[in-house]
């Protein structure tokens, strides 16, 4: 059974942690690897270098929208491909454990599960711009008719 009184706060906590992780990982790419170094790494993976810059922006946008609660369910779904790409292109071949050389896929997979949980369960408390839903549009149509 879901406790509907506390579940929104659990989702808020999950949203905040996921958003902070995106900021931390974007910061790693900006301040440690540098954007140019990250672009070079993407080139070594066979990806276009410009996609590295897009990935950094995508991570910053995902972090901001999750933390602020701007369409959090859509934001969580939109952020998932970043991590699936990280698993497929970098971490998957390193094995399961993230402590392996080049990091395994356990951490990005757990991160994906958290994002999917937000997408499935809802926006959580204190969302600045809640995700529009089919039920909300139906309710709006009933009130305007």
Query: Is residue 141 predicted with pLDDT exceeding 60?
Result: no
Q: What is the pLDDT of residue 134?
A: 61
Which residues touch 16 (CB under 8 Å, ≥6 apart)? 66, 67
Distance of CA 117 to the CA centre of its chain: 11
- Domain locations in the chain? 8-144
Which one is predicted more confidently, 134 or 50?
Answer: 50
Burial class for 106, CB neighbours closer than 10 Å (0-12, 13-18, 19+): middle
Q: What is the pLDDT of residue 139?
A: 53
Interatomic CA distance for residues 30 and 25, integer angstroms: 9
- CA proximity to 112, closest of 82, 139, 92, 89: 82
* 8 A C-beta contact, residue 86 and residue 108: yes
Q: Which residues pair with 70 in a beta bridge?
A: 129
* pTM, rounded to two decimals: 0.88
Query: Is residue 118 predicted with pLDDT exceeding 80?
Result: yes
What is residue 49's three-state secondary structure?
A: coil
pLDDT tens, position by position, 47-101: 999 999 999 999 999 999 999 999 999 999 999 999 999 999 999 999 999 898 8
- With vertex at residue 52, the alpha carbon angle to CA 43 and CA 103, rounded to the nearest 5 degrees, is 80
Mean pLDDT over 111-121 rounds to: 97
pLDDT tens, position by position, 26-39: 999 999 999 999 99
């Amino acid at each position: 059974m879901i406790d509907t009184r506390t579940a929104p706060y659990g989702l808020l906590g999950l949203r905040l942690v996921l958003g902070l992780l995106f900021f931390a990982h974007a910061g790693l790419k900006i301040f440690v690897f540098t954007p140019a170094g990250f672009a070079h790494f993407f080139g070594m993976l066979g990806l276009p270098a410009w996609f590295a810059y897009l990935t950094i922006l995508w991570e910053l946008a995902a972090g901001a929208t999750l933390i602020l609660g701007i369409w959090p369910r859509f934001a969580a779904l939109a952020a998932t491909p970043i991590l699936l790409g990280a698993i497929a292109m970098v971490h998957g071949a390193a094995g399961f454990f993230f402590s392996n050389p080049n990091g395994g896929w356990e951490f990005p997979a757990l991160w994906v599960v958290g994002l999917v949980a937000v997408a499935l369960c809802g926006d959580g408390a204190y969302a600045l711009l809640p995700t529009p839903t089919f039920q909300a549009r139906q309710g709006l149509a009933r009130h305007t008719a």
